[in-house]
Amino acid sequence: MSGTMGNRIVVTGATGNVGTSVVRALSEDSDVGSVLGLARRIPDWSPPRTEWSAVDLASERADLVGEFADADAVVHLAWAFQPTHDPATTWRTNVLGGMRVFEAVAAAGVPTLVHASSVGAYSPGPREHAVDESWPTHGWPDAAYCREKAYLERTLDIFEREHPEVRVVRMRPAFLFKRESASEQRRIFGGRFLPGPPARPELLPFLPDIPGLRVQALHTDDAAEAYVLALGAEVRGAFNLAADPPVDAELLGEMLGTRPVRLPRAAARSAIAAAWGLHLLPASPHLFDAVLRLPLMDCTRARTELGWRPERTSTEVLEEFLHGLQHGAGARTEPMKGRKVG
- Residues 14 and 124 grouped into a single domain: yes
Spatial distance between the Cα atoms of 230 and 233, rounded to a whole number of angstroms: 5
- In whole angstroms, give the CA distance from residue 279 to residue 276: 5
Residues 161, 28 share a domain: yes
Omega of the bond prior to 83 within 30 degrees of 0, cis? Answer: yes
pLDDT in tens, 27-36: 999 999 999 9
- Is 60 exceeded by the pLDDT of residue 5? no
Picking from 244, 247, 246, the residue whose alpha carbon sits closest to that of residue 310 is 244
Q: Which residue has the higher pLDDT, 3 or 244?
A: 244
Q: Are residues 275 and 313 in the same domain?
A: no
* Residue 257 reports pLDDT greater than 90: no
- Domain membership of residue 328 (yes or no) is no
Distance, in Å, from the CA atom of 305 to the CA atom of 229, rounded to the nearest integer, reads: 10
Asked if 280 and 228 touch (Cβ cutoff 8 Å), the reply is no
**pLDDT (0 to 100) of residue 200:** 61
What pLDDT, on the 0 to 100 scale, is given for residue 2? 47
User: For the chain, what is the domain count?
Assistant: 2
* Of 88, 98, 132, the residue nearest 237 (C-alpha): 132
- Average pLDDT (177-191) is 85
CATH number, domain at 98? 3.40.50.720
Q: Does residue 199 surpass a pLDDT of 80?
A: no
Say how far apart CA 204 and CA 202 lie, in whole Å. 6
Cα gap 70→9, rounded to integer Å? 9
**In a domain? residue 2:** no
Whether residue 311 sits in one domain with residue 252: no
**What is the DSSP track for 93-132?**
IIIIHHHHHHHHHHHTT-SEEEEE--GGGSPP--SSS-B-
DSSP 245: S
Q: Record the pTM.
A: 0.93
Exposure string of 236-253, with b = 16+ CB inside 10 Å and e = fewer, is eebbbbbbeebbebebbb
In this structure, the answer to whether residues 238 and 278 fall within a common structural domain is no
Please check whether residues 136 and 186 belong to one and the same domain: no
Domain that holds residue 83: 8-180+216-244+296-320
Asked, for residue 163, whether it belongs to a domain, the answer is yes
C-alpha to C-alpha distance for 259 and 286, rounded to whole angstroms: 27
Tens digits of residue pLDDT in 35-77: 999 999 999 999 999 999 999 999 999 999 999 999 999 999 9
Q: Is residue 342 part of a domain?
A: no
